Amino acid sequence: MPASRSRTLEWRRSLEELCQKGGSLEVAITRDDGRGHDLVWRLRILDVRDDGIVVENPGALGRALPLHVGTRLVAYIVIGQNRWEFRTAVLESIPPGRHADARNGASRLSLPERVERCLRRHARFDVGPLALPPVDVWPLLDPKSAVAAERANELAWAAFLEGKPVTTDEEALLPTVGPRLTGHLANMGGGGAGLLIEPAQAGLLSRHRLFWVRLALGDGCPVPIVACAKLVHTHIDSTQRTYAGLSFDFAFNPAHQRTVAAQVEHSVRTLEERQSH
């Protein structure tokens, strides 16, 4: 039996192997209406049991983001360039302390009824039913110049939370940067993000290490996430796109970390709330 077919039928063994190796599931909150973009999280598998799959909760920059019980998810088992999709839901919220390695707490997810093989990445930057958000990235030539842009973003976010009109001239608020490239958000992590970059634009990654990142999450929020980010690692996938791992850097404006964490949490809670209506 071919390996891909075998793993489709024996998904539990694949999950158990990932768990033993400290591997992760890629998970996103299901969007019933198809609006907006998806945040994909890589959640470490803590246990595979008869009553569900236990994964560490997502987090953002020191802020835990426990998923609400009943939240429906689309999840992916990723092994090399192969990818298997299934639907699941949060059955139980597990507080910190029950699993020693889960600083953000954990969630028990339902076992899949079936697992289907899917493409690793589609050319349109869809991943199965997911739509990856576009991300604008610029080489950051003067890190100190980012402080004023971050502060303007913080004020716009505060105005949005207070229900006030938000108008931003995004180009005018740029710090001192080089030419722009556009990628797509592959996944979020506790302190950074992974981007997919087309081959024609990937050359900038080899010439710079510090970048200015702008990510519009949508879902009715006019204030994008902006931040300085360091390039941590890159690799080229089977389609010759570059995966770039970025770590957010708040060295020049530590207070901005709270705003970015709050924006990420707002997106997660908005997606959960929309499922309940």
Output the domain CATH number for residue 267.
Answer: 2.40.10.220
Contact (Cβ atoms closer than 8 angstroms) between residue 211 and residue 136: no
If asked whether residues 116 and 153 sit together in one domain, one would say no
Give the pLDDT of the chain (277 residues) as one tens digit per residue.
Answer: 444 444 456 788 888 888 889 888 999 888 776 666 778 888 999 999 999 999 999 888 778 888 899 999 999 888 877 788 899 999 999 887 777 677 778 999 999 888 888 754 443 334 455 677 889 999 999 999 999 999 999 999 999 999 888 876 677 679 999 999 999 988 887 788 899 898 888 888 888 899 999 998 776 678 999 999 999 999 887 778 899 999 999 999 999 999 999 998 888 888 888 876 6
In which domain, by residue range, is 19 found? 3-126
Domain match, 266 and 142 both: yes
Answer yes or no: do 235 and 101 share one domain.
no
CA distances from 184 to 40, 43, 99, 230, 233 (A): 11, 19, 33, 17, 16
* Domain termination residue (choose one: 96, 126, 156): 126
Question: Domain total for the chain?
Answer: 2
Q: Are residues 150 and 44 in the same domain?
A: no
One domain, residues 137 and 271: yes
> Is 167 buried (19+), middle (13-18) or exposed (0-12) by CB count in 10 A?
exposed
The CATH number of the domain holding residue 68 is 2.30.110.10
Helix 146-161 to helix 256-275 angle (10° resolution) is: 40
How buried is 70 (Cβ within 10 angstroms: 0-12 exposed, 13-18 middle, 19+ buried)?
A: exposed
